[in-house]
Structure 1
Amino acid sequence: MGRIPTFLAALLVLLVPVLAQAEPADIDAAARGVVRVIIIGEDGEELVPISHGTGFAVASDQVVTNAHVLRDALRDDALRIGIIPSGGGEAVYGQPIAVSPRNDLALIRITGALRLPPLVLAGGVPPDSGEVTSVGYPMNVDRAQGLDLSDIFRSQPPVKSRGYVSGARPSRQFDTILHTAPIARGNSGGPLLDPCGRVVGVNSFGADNDGGDAEFFFAVSNRELLPFLRANGVEPRVNGSTCRSMADLDEAERERLQREQMAARADMAQRSEVQRTKRERALLEAEQGVIVEREDRVFLAFVLLLVAFGLGQWALTLWRAEPRDEKRLRLVGGATLVVVLVALAAYLTRPGLDEIDRRVAAAMADGAGDPASGDTPASGAAALLCTLVPERSRVTSAKVEDIEFDWTADGCVNTRTQYGFAGGSWSRVFVPNSEDAVSVNSFDPDRRIFRTERYLLPRGAMSEAREARGKYSAPECGSDQAAAQLGELQSEVLAQLPREANERLVYECNARN
């Protein structure tokens, strides 16, 4: 019997690589700001690594690590601190600007030209459960790969290992997070990330594993990290929103669209019923009105003919009388003719049956522009204020604020930024040089929904996106076929982007007062 659990455990180990999913894009995005921190000595003219750890960017030129990672450099002025970026690029030196041995934190300023994408810190209370990922440079992996000491100076991607939070607890006089995401020597100072790639702690040390006990690891919690950073002039990006996967967001969006479609169908059915009732009422009223008018005209014509008959008899009497009164005869005869003509006109101008259809159409046309009819106002120029819709958005690192812009019917924003039109939608691709992120902004002028999809790309992919963007110049607002041209020009950049964005910001827009 004892062999069965052992066999199942071995089978589970074999299945893990098959069942495990690819690293989330958010973890990959956060890893762009993770660096190897090396304490460097000199042997003649040769640089020699003394020890190393991990760090991560909290500003474009500032890196957090553990205080114990810098211990040797702080004791010996001859030693220097090297910063090796993870996404390629030249190594640079760093200068310690704050060290706190009490909670094992240190802050380094980059002295070279390297600029890093800062990681975002998770806000709120430190987690006491849930999945986490350690990112760093464990030394045992370097040894297992057979790397030489000189290889440590080359840019390499960090190692990512998953585990779970086992609890938040004070330890060594500071707040720590206990977790099972494996770390080893060299991981010290690296970030512990939540599933959205936000920092929940700084990996520091592991529990002893004598006797084969389960391994646990400790990270300095954000309760320690945030005050440390702010005390040293760093205001990091903090995001306390609920971490949701893009798949969950897409599913919620599908459900929302289904609800909207069901509501639209119900509204359409209701409006159809209202229109049917209105048409039936209009038809009944038109039929009754036309029939009454026809009968009234025929009756009037009949009465007038009776009057004309009487006048005709009088005229006949006057014509036979001797002596004949010519003046009166002409007067009565003319009156008879006039009455006959009026009777004929009354009969001929009676409404026909086709008048029923015209009256029904006129009645249905009344109120066609009524808002209750569900007609959507035509899209056109508008001055808008757009506010984020949190339940439809996924924000991990972007700064969120209300957006004001002026929109025109030809896709021009604020009289200077042309949007492209392709596939039935308006969009504009932004590939900045100052940030390793591509943003695709889109706007639906009918529904007044503004949306930003942000792709946090590694350095190589970002360079390719910038190269593709550099191949074209966006047309100016007002130029002929500007929207269609830009829609085509942007296609190469869009084709290079991953299938799924890291962030989605959805805004509802209303007219500005």
Structure 2
Amino acid sequence: MGRILTYFAAMCALLLPQLVHADPADIDAASRGVVRVVIIGNDGDELYPVSHGTGFAVTQNAIVTNAHVVRDAMRDEDLRIGVVPNGGGEAVYGQLVTASSRNDLALVRLTGNLRLPPLAIAAQPVSGAGEVTSVGYPMNVDRAQGLDLTDLFRSQPPVKSRGFISGERPSRQFDTILHTAPIARGNSGGPLLDPCGRVVGVNSFGADNEGGDAEFFFAVSNRELVPFLKANDITPRLSDQPCRSLADLDEAERDRIEREQAEARQNLAQRAEETRAKRERALLRAQLSVAEDREDRMALAFILMLVAFGLGLWAWSQRERIGADDEDAALRIKKTNIAFAIAGFLVVVAFIAFITRPGLDEVDRRVAAMMAEGEGPDDGAPLAGQESGDLSLVCNVIPERSRITTSEAPEIEFEWTADGCVNERTQYGYASGNWSRVFVPNQEDAVSVNSFDPDRRIFRSERYLLQRGAMREARSARAKYTAPKCGVDGAATSLGDLQGEVLSQLPQQPNERLVYQCEMRD
């Protein structure tokens, strides 16, 4: 058996580089919604813990745990359910909504106002040998830290332990996930998370470990959890996006940009070659056309000069024949004068035709005219509304360029003006060549940084899922300034500077990145 386990460990070591590893920031973000569930007894005026387990938020005021965690409270009306949040906040009581002994699930509604961040639930089945993380409050850790029973009522961070999926199998008449992420007494009801911090199961029990066998643990699968929630009027926050790290996303984005740049260079070279060939053809046509026009003008001038010369000779010969006693002398003199006048006019026209013949500079003008042929009147024209920088847009998320773990990504519609105003009421800041707006809500422990590129029409929302302490600091920094209203002089640059303190407090990487492609709205 020892050799088999050693071989199995070696095979896992070879496979690990190919697996998606858990991002600590995602696990920490999910842990914000993990709570300690304490069964509380009452001895007169003194409260004391009877037992405890773990739970996690599925809405802001409802948690899921195991049915066996709250079994004592179900049997004894004098026992109450206490919920102790992670990362600060007062403990509150919970009311049992329902419990299912069949699949060991229970739903508890909170009586206080904790506003817990709900955990996202993975919509897709877990992959074999994928990495998972158990999050909860194991009793053996409490004992090792010297915590007594009263310490259970104080906020403590949950314990996180990593392991791997070992398989999916029905157990005790319900669907379970077999894994190796260690759990102990007290972990019951806590979430089993994938590398992106999404729930893939509810930890329930462990296999017996007699005789030194390898330890395995069981979690109630989402095939049981999701129907259980829906049956109790809870709409779970499902996520069907693939689990990708921001590093993978950034690498894919760099590859995409390189491909676009290579394609743009290829298109530019192709257009340059097409333009060169077109110019050569236009130059040849222009040279032939100018040469023909020059020859035509010179031939016309030569013919006019011949005609003028002939008229002049005829008029001169007629003038020489007129005698003093010629009765028609006056009439013949008048005719010769008209002939001389016509001849002179033809000479002038011939001169004009000669000097106005096309020169070499006419070749360039005709080449330019030919190069412009075929360009429609709309080529290169700005789109509707773009002349002033105003845009009416509808935006849809680009899944392959986004990292979505807990958020929804609905279609977005908004009006954008050249001075960075959205829907005539929300001013965006301008700094370092980017338009952005920082949102620090009071009702959610998450900071959103929205940005928009009006040239590429890309809208981006990056979300930072912060612990309560970090969220308080972000709210404090946001409270130091008032965002300028749309239309105020210098509003964009002023807001770009004011947002700097909030941005400086955020982690280096967001937890989520939603990238939208925007199009002009009909």
- When the two structures are superposed, what TM-score results if normalisation uses the length of structure 1? 0.92
Partner of 1:329: 336
**Which string of whole-angstrom CA distances, capped at 9 and with x for unpartnered residues, describes residues 7-45 of structure 1?**
xx9xx99xx9xxx98852111110000001111223443
CA shift, 1:415, in A, is 2.3
TM-fit CA distance, 1:165:
0.8
1:84 aligns with 2:91: no
1:356 aligns with 2:363: yes
Number of aligned pairs? 501
Deviation at 1:204, TM superposition (A): 0.9
Map 1:313-324; keep pairs closer than 5 Å.
313-323=313-323, 324=329
1:344 alignment partner in structure 2? 351
Letter in 1 for 2:80: R
Residue in structure 2 matched with residue 397 of structure 1 by the alignment: 406
Distance 1:63 1:489, change over 3 A: same
The alignment partner of 1:409 has SS state of coil
Tell whether 2:431 aligns with 1:417. Answer: no
Q: Which amino acid aligns with 2:403?
A: R
Task: Kindly provide the CA deviation profile for residues 239-258 of structure 1, in whole angstroms up to 9, marking residues without a partner as x.
Answer: 12222222222222222112
Instruction: Please show how residues 420-499 of structure 1 align to structure 2 within 5 Å.
Output: 420-499=429-508
Alignment of 1:217-256 (within 5 A): 217-256=217-256
Question: 2:51 & 2:96 partners in 1: Cα distance?
Answer: 16
User: CA offsets per residue over residues 352-390 of structure 1, 9 Å max, x none?
Assistant: 11111122223223445678x889866733322222222
Q: Residue type of the partner of 1:248? A: D
Tell which deviates more after alignment, 74-83 or 227-236. 74-83
Q: Distance in 1 between matches of 2:512 and 2:126?
A: 23
SS in 1 for 2:68: helix
Contact 1:191 1:202 in 2 (8 A): yes
Q: CA deviation at 1:196?
A: 1.1
Contact 1:369 1:375 in 2 (8 A): no
The structure 2 residue matched to 1:511, chosen from 499, 516, 520, is 520
> In the alignment, what sits opposite 1:205?
205
**Closer, same or farther: CA 365–481 of 1 in aligned 2, 3 Å:** farther
Alignment partner of 1:267 is 2:274: no
1: CA distance, partners of 2:373 / 2:451: 37
CA distance in structure 1 between the partners assigned to 2:468 and 2:375 by the alignment? 56
Indicate the percent of aligned positions where both proteins have the same amino acid: 67
The runs of 5 or more residues in structure 1 that have no matched partner are none
1:101 match = 101
Partner of 1:144: 144
Distance in 2 between the 1:284 and 1:23 partners? 65
Paired AA for residue 196 in structure 1: C
Which amino acid letter does the alignment assign opposite residue 474 of structure 2?
A
Question: Where do 1:39-54 residues align within 5 Å?
Answer: 39-54=39-54
1:189 maps to which residue? 189
Note if contact 1:283-1:360 (Cα within 8 Å) is conserved in structure 2: yes
Whether the aligned pair in 1 keeps the contact of 2:458 and 2:517 (CA below 8 Å) is yes
Alignment deviations for residues 323-351 of structure 1 (CA, whole Å, 9 cap, x no partner): 35331232112111111110110011111
Matched position secondary structure for 1:269: helix
Whole-Å separation in 1 of the counterparts to 2:214 and 2:381: 65
AA matched with 1:417: T
SS in 2 for 1:344: helix
Partners of 2:105 and 2:322 lie apart in 1 by 138
Shift of 1:119: 0.5
Matches of 1:407 and 1:38 in 2, distance apart? Answer: 51
1:6-25 equivalent positions in 2, closer than 5 A:
23-25=23-25
2:485 partner letter: E
Residue 212 of structure 1 aligns with an amino acid whose one-letter code is G
Task: Give the 3 Å change call, closer, same or farther, for CA 225–454 of structure 1 in structure 2.
Answer: same
The answer to which of 259-268 and 42-51 deviates more is 42-51
Between the aligned partners of 1:512 and 1:21, the Cα distance in structure 2 is: 41
Q: Deviations over 1:34-82 (max 9, x none)?
A: 0011112234433322211111000100011111111222232222221
Compare 304-313 and 319-328 and name the one that shifted more: 319-328
Q: Distance in 1 between matches of 2:279 and 2:223?
A: 69
Question: Conserved in 2, the CA contact under 8 Å of 1:132 and 1:163?
Answer: yes
- Tell me the C-alpha RMSD between the 2 structures: 2.5
Secondary structure in structure 1 of the residue aligned to 2:70: helix
The one-letter code of the counterpart of 1:454 is: R
CA distance in 1, matches of 2:493, 2:293: 58
Distance 2:73 2:469 in 1: 32
Q: Deviations over 1:435-456 (max 9, x none)?
A: 1111222222222222221111
| C-alpha contact (below 8 Å) 2:396/2:412 kept by paired residues | yes
Aligned partner of 2:511 in structure 1 is 502
**Aligned partners of 2:424 and 2:483: how far apart in 1?**
14
